[in-house]
Amino acid sequence: MAAPREAPERRPFGRRFLTDPTRLFQHNAWDNVEWSEEQEASARSKVQENSSQLLPQDKQEEYEVNAKRYWDDFYKIHENGFFKDRHWLFTEFPELAPNRKPSQNGDCVHELSNKEESSNEGLGSCENGPCSLETKAENQLSVIKSTPKICTEELAAQKSSELNQSAGDYPGSSASYRILEVGCGAGNTVFPILQTNNDPGLFVYCCDFSTTAVDLVQNNVEYDSSRCFAFVHDLCNDQSPFPMPDETLDIVILIFVLSAILPEKMQRIVNRLSRLLKPGGMILLRDYGRYDLAQLRFKKGQCLSDNFYVRGDGTRVYFFTQDELNDLFTKAGLEKIQNLVDRRLQVNRGKQMTMYRVWIQCKYRKPAAPPL
């Protein structure tokens, strides 16, 4: 068993980190690394080069029409063995477990940069399919062996519609604190929340475009239907109902989800999610930033439109700026609480390779209802 890795020092945003070459390969990541003008110019040049040749329109339409199949295939191949549970969430988003003590679970924000986003959220670096930017073995979890449940979008929609016909009778209707994760994947956000947040009034909803992903969540031994409801949902389909009424959620989580959606559909989706929030409720987002390593590694012929690419496995990804995300959320009537860029230097000690990651983290709140 490898010795535990020392957690790097967390530094405030805007402070320059001076790299000591003698320490470079003793750690895995450094926070908030400032880029030089030359580095940014080089990144901009690489993006211009890899986006100079766009895919034909008919191929782009094919990726949109078959998006669900590509994600189903992804989860069938990887099941839940490609991801690490996101215990870093409670450091970055304490709203997910308001009563939690900082030392609980021994988690550290750097689990995010060291293990997870260098693999799953580092997809796009391979031409012929998904691959990790670091050793995939670091991210292996036990494979679920139980028989998958049958769960289709049509059945989920029918069930939620029937539940909503009876006023106040829907999954989690008696809860006092409701969280929805959109794009739940294999449950690597949902289960840490259920493990960490012991509020008896908590109820967690989670949905995904992929039927296979939802099957993985429902068949996990930690899935508790008294505290959680997993369902298949197509965010781009306005006719696909949610199981809860509008203005009932305290938190909506978007972790590397919005970037997988066709850019022209993003505003409509954010508008729809904002309607689910209670006054004072929040959307929490973490996603790819412009010039992230994953964007720079794309080759010519993988670009769909400006800063929007298709991976070798058919899944797609967009790379945001802060202003773009701010526009999406404010146009949906939400107030900015946080919108920051996290630039990190990661080191693969085995390959002695440095990697620069760029992510954006946001918190936007629905204005409180005016007093009567």
Tens digit of each residue's pLDDT (9 = 90 or more) over 245-275: 999 999 999 999 999 999 999 999 999 999 9
* The CA-based dihedral angle spanning residues 30, 32, 36, 41, taken in that order and rounded to the nearest 10 degrees: 100
Residue pointed to by tokens 């630039």: 343
Q: Can you tell me the distance from the alpha carbon of 293 to that of 266, in angstroms, rounded to the nearest whole number?
A: 23
- Residues present in the chain in total: 372
pTM given for the model:
0.75
Strand segments, DSSP code E, in the chain are 29-30, 177-182, 202-208, 228-232, 249-255, 277-288, 303-305, 308-310, 316-318, 335-348, 353-365
Tens digit of each residue's pLDDT (9 = 90 or more) over 278-308: 999 999 999 999 999 999 999 998 999 999 9
Tens digit of each residue's pLDDT (9 = 90 or more) over 83-98: 455 667 888 999 998 7
Contact 254, 288 (CB under 8 A): no
pLDDT at 70 (0 to 100): 64
Query: What domains can you pick out in the chain, each with its CATH number?
Result: 33-97+171-235+242-366 (3.40.50.150)
Cα–Cα distances (Å) from 289 to 91, 232, 258, 273, in that order, read 20, 27, 12, 21
Element (H, E) at 41: helix 37-50
Question: What residues contact residue 127 under an 8 Å CB cut-off, 6+ apart?
Answer: 299, 302, 312
Q: Is the pLDDT of residue 78 over 70?
A: no
pLDDT at 29 (0 to 100): 58
Residue pointed to by tokens 């829907």: 170
Q: Can you tell me the distance from the alpha carbon of 88 to that of 75, in angstroms, rounded to the nearest whole number?
A: 23
- Residue 228's nearest CA partner among 273, 184, 269 is 184
Rounded to an integer, the average pLDDT of 29-58 is: 82
State the amino acid at position 302 in one-letter form: Q
Backbone phi, psi, residue 143, to 5°: -85, 135
Q: Can you tell me the distance from the alpha carbon of 129 to that of 124, in angstroms, rounded to the nearest whole number?
A: 8
State the amino acid at position 301 in one-letter form: G
Q: Residue 162 has which token pair?
A: 């029937």
- Residue 17's nearest CA partner among 25, 8, 26 is 8
Tally DSSP H helices, then E strands, for the chain.
11, 11
Q: How many CB atoms lie within 10 A of CB 304?
A: 21
pLDDT at 22 (0 to 100): 35
Q: Where are the alpha helices (DSSP H) in 133-252?
A: 153-165, 190-196, 211-218
pLDDT at 351 (0 to 100): 65
Q: Can you tell me the distance from the alpha carbon of 343 to that of 16, in angstroms, rounded to the nearest whole number?
A: 11
Cα–Cα distances (Å) from 68 to 208, 210, 218, 273, in that order, read 10, 6, 19, 20
Q: Residue 294 has which token pair?
A: 């994953």
